[in-house]
Amino acid sequence: MTRQDLFEQIISKQSYLCVGLDADINRIPKHLLKYDDPIFEFNKQIIDATKDLCIAYKPNLAFYEALGPKGWLSLQKTLDYIPEEIFTIADAKRGDIGNTSRLYAKAFFETLNFDSVTVAPYMGEDSVMPFLEFENKWVILLALTSNKGSNDFQFTKQEDGQPLYEKVMRKAMTWGTSENLMFVVGATHPEKFTEIRSIAPEHFLLVPGVGAQGGDLAGLSKYGKNDLLGLLVNSSRGIIFASEGEDFAEAAGNAAKKLQIEMSGLI
Amino acid sequence: MTRQDLFEQIISKQSYLCVGLDADINRIPKHLLKYDDPIFEFNKQIIDATKDLCIAYKPNLAFYEALGPKGWLSLQKTLDYIPEEIFTIADAKRGDIGNTSRLYAKAFFETLNFDSVTVAPYMGEDSVMPFLEFENKWVILLALTSNKGSNDFQFTKQEDGQPLYEKVMRKAMTWGTSENLMFVVGATHPEKFTEIRSIAPEHFLLVPGVGAQGGDLAGLSKYGKNDLLGLLVNSSRGIIFASEGEDFAEAAGNAAKKLQIEMSGLI
């Protein structure tokens, strides 16, 4: 999928919403536990209720790994169920020495057929490149994350005065292009989007932290969008757990609709 | 397992070797492919051949994830087969926002019952703390990795003059203690061990990069060991793929024995 493909979806759906499929077995509605595969059933109903309102789905791998082999089967079925035109993100935050990163890339891009995977930058170029070598696939590199701990290392200034996240972005832009590399920038840092756009005017940004984490959609959209919109704004818990009752899918659809309407006014 | 327990094993086995169970399905001997679970069969024979020569096993999760649900079953069976007194390391390099890191911790510490997990520091305190909150379990935090990409960010000086890996270590030492926190320090940086010991004199270090990656065992041991030895030196490919024929287990045992003998002279 190209940037242009993403942009066309954004225009046609009037949305740049990504729905985080963080299907926590301890939080999904109890009546689903009678199904053979409660996690897949939950995701299926969430996808049915939101697929016309979003342009991407992002399962966080932790919620599937926590269930062992069963979790992988639920994830595989979920991936197969997502409509082909919708962008898929393996939120895995992987990164390892070269031969090992290559295997992770195969797991996510070939075995599971994700369009993209989130990658952690700490181990540098040879930990990221194996992901960038797959055609028509994307790396979404952690730059400025949405959590409190982003203050510990990401903001600390380097000897040359730039904060670490900026150094990460500039360096990574020598490894990939705006057609195979995106950055994670948390919605909890709306004041940073102008600066981030001055570093990476063309790259898509994956923006977590709207909803449960309290990010400001209007602010970040104003300063973060570019000619091809350039934003995938994620909400997980705020949508999928909008209700924990039997009406969970309807409630998720309503929560997604609310964000989509807000987004349509910001495009 | 405590530092004292590790030290007692080191003394009794005269070894501080960790064997990396990176059971690549494309590299294991072909005659094993006839088994129901070739990966487990491979690991089982490697464990039988090396368990008296090493004090830890470290499966890298990538090699299991690449196989999907089957890979998780092989990993679970491998974990169950490792003798209880041997320290186990999930080489996963995870790290995510708090509620997600907690799930990873449950997956590795409870579902799979590993003693420890490797964690990436980029997302800061709330991404690491959930792992540290499990009793009798260990976090092994990436500090200075063995790969070429360690030069990209880990060595770059911060505004206050210290390199990033040093900042990571000092900060993390305020989160955990020498009884639940270790650091990854690559064998490819033997000249750094004196400095690293001045920062963290008491913490155990997990040292990859001996063998296939070319690290120097005598040099790093001289400058890296402390009162409780304080080192877990890992070799993966150099041991488990010492032969790719039917004699692979015997060859692995011989390769491990060679390192153990060298280590016994360095303790």
Partnered with residue B207 across adjacent β-strands are B233
Question: Is A145 close to B123, i.e. CB distance below 8 A?
Answer: yes
Check residue A210 and give its pLDDT. 87
Q: Cα dist. B215→A99, A151, B67, B115, B148 in Å?
A: 17, 34, 30, 26, 13
Closest residue by Cα to residue A179 from A131, A132, A225, A213: A132
Q: Which residues of B touch A98 (CB under 8 A)?
A: 147
Check residue B118 and give its pLDDT. 98
CATH homologous superfamily of B3-194+203-215+228-264 equals: Aldolase class I (3.20.20.70)
Average pLDDT over residues A116-129: 98
Using the predicted structure, report yes or no on whether residue A214 has a pLDDT greater than 80.
Answer: no
Q: Which two tokens stand for residue B38?
A: 């070739």
Closest residue by Cα to residue A230 from A260, A258, A200, A254: A200
Of all residues in chain B, the one with the smallest CA distance to A150 is B123
Closest residue by Cα to residue B89 from B79, B98, B100: B79
Q: Please count the other Cβ atoms lying within 10 Å of the Cβ belonging to residue A135.
A: 6
Query: Cβ(A154)–Cβ(A121) under 8 Å?
Result: no
Gap from A201 CA to chain B (nearest CA, Å): 23
Closest CB to B100: pick one of A60, A104, A121. Answer: A60
One-letter-per-residue 3-state SS of chain A: CCHHHHHHHHHHHCCCEEEECCCCCCCCCHHHHHCCCHHHHHHHHHHHHHCCCCCEEECECHHHHCCCHHHHHHHHHHHHHCCCCCEEEEEEEECCCHHHHHHHHHHHHHHCCCCEEEECCCCCHHHHHHHHCCCCCEEEEEEECCCCCHHHHCCCEECCCCEHHHHHHHHHCCCCCCCCEEEEECCCCHHHHHHHHHHCCCCCEEECCECCCCECHHHHHHHHCECCECEEEEECHHHHCCCCCCCHHHHHHHHHHHHHHHHHCCC
d(CA A233, CA A54): 10
d(CA B213, CA B258): 17
Half-sphere exposure in the Cβ direction for A173 (13 Å, CA)? 17
Average pLDDT over residues A118-136: 98
Give the pLDDT band (50/70/90) at residue A212.
low
Gap from A11 CA to chain B (nearest CA, Å): 31
Question: Is B103 close to A145, i.e. CB distance below 8 A?
Answer: no
Check residue A4 and give its pLDDT. 98
Give CATH for domain A3-264. Answer: 3.20.20.70
Percent of chain A beyond pLDDT 90? 93
Give residue B111's Cα distance to chain centre. 19
Check residue B210 and give its pLDDT. 87
Q: What phi, psi does B197 have (nearest 5°)?
A: -70, -25
d(CA A175, CA A193): 22
- DSSP H or E segment with residue B167: helix B164-172
Closest CB to B124: pick one of A72, A95, A151. Answer: A151
Query: Cβ(B243)–Cβ(B251) under 8 Å?
Result: yes
In total, chain A counts a number of residues equal to 267
Check residue A70 and give its pLDDT. 92
Average pLDDT over residues A22-49: 97
Query: Cβ(B58)–Cβ(B82) under 8 Å?
Result: no
Question: Is A120 close to B124, i.e. CB distance below 8 A?
Answer: no
Closest CB to A153: pick one of B145, B150, B167. Answer: B167
Gap from B8 CA to chain A (nearest CA, Å): 31
Using the predicted structure, report yes or no on whether residue A144 has a pLDDT greater than 80.
Answer: yes
Question: Is A153 close to B97, i.e. CB distance below 8 A?
Answer: no
In the set B93, B167, B171, B258, the catalytic residue is B93
Sequence spans of domains, chain B: 3-194+203-215+228-264
Of all residues in chain B, the one with the smallest CA distance to A209 is B97
Gap from A8 CA to chain B (nearest CA, Å): 31
Query: Is this prediction's pTM over 0.95?
Result: yes
Using the predicted structure, report yes or no on whether residue A180 has a pLDDT greater than 70.
Answer: yes
Give the pLDDT band (50/70/90) at residue A190.
confident
Predicted interface score ipTM higher than 0.85: yes
pLDDT in tens, chain B (267 residues): 999 999 999 999 999 999 999 999 999 999 999 999 999 999 999 999 999 999 999 999 999 999 988 999 999 999 999 999 999 999 999 999 999 999 999 999 998 999 999 999 999 999 999 999 999 999 999 999 999 999 999 999 999 999 999 999 999 999 999 999 999 999 888 889 999 999 999 999 999 988 767 778 999 999 999 999 999 999 999 999 999 999 999 999 999 999 999 999 999
d(CA B45, CA B250): 9
Q: Which residues of A touch B158 (CB under 8 A)?
A: 156-159
Q: Which residues of B touch A76 (CB under 8 A)?
A: 68-69
